[in-house]
């Protein structure tokens, strides 16, 4: 059972544009939602995270928008750069467990 659904699977954005990746979850007990960035040959690294008591969190060019009623959250990358080209994973933690449940990932390519 896929508890965290992520879309799109792949995304191509022009340099300077906005990249948007969406995730939806089912388990209302989830209470922590991180995004991870993974470059080829490397392990995932935490990018930004949010708790459900806020609707938005911004760190530099990266923003998480959170909609608790819809059980959805999204990552926005403003002014996308070629160096942002990577795979992005959303994840969720909670429900009494100690493990992160990951989405299926989005391959982002930022073109010049």
Partner 1 sequence: GAGVSQSPSNKVTEKGKDVELRCDPISGHTALYWYRQRLGQGLEFLIYFQGNSAPDKSGLPSDRFSAERTGESVSTLTIQRTQQEDSAVYLCASSLRNLKLSGANVLTFGAGSRLTVL
**Residues at the interface with partner 1 (CB under 8 A):** 4, 6, 9, 32, 34, 41-46, 49, 89, 91, 93-94, 98-105
In degrees and rounded to multiples of 5, residue 82 shows phi and psi of -55, -35
Gyration radius (Cα) of the chain, Å: 13
The residue among 15 and 51 lying less far from partner 1, judged by its C-beta, is: 51
Residue among 9 and 69 whose Cβ is closer to partner 1: 9
**Nearest-approach distance from CB 20 to partner 1, in angstroms:** 19
Minimum CB distance to partner 1 smaller for 35 or for 112: 35
> Would you say 19 and 65 are in contact if contact means Cβ atoms under 8 Å apart?
no
CB of 112 to partner 1, least distance (A): 25
């Amino acid at each position: 059972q896929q508890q965290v659904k992520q879309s799109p699977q792949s995304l191509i954005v022009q340099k300077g544009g906005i990249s948007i990746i969406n995730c939806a979850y089912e388990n209302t007990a989830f209470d922590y939602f991180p995004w991870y960035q993974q470059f080829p040959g490397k392990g995932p690294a935490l990018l930004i995270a949010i708790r459900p008591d806020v609707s938005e969190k911004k760190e530099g060019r990266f923003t998480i928008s959170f909609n608790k009623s819809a059980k959805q959250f999204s990552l926005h990358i403003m002014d996308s750069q070629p160096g942002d080209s990577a795979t992005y994973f959303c994840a969720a933690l909670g429900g009494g467990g100690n493990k992160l449940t990951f989405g299926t990932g989005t391959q982002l390519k930022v073109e010049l």
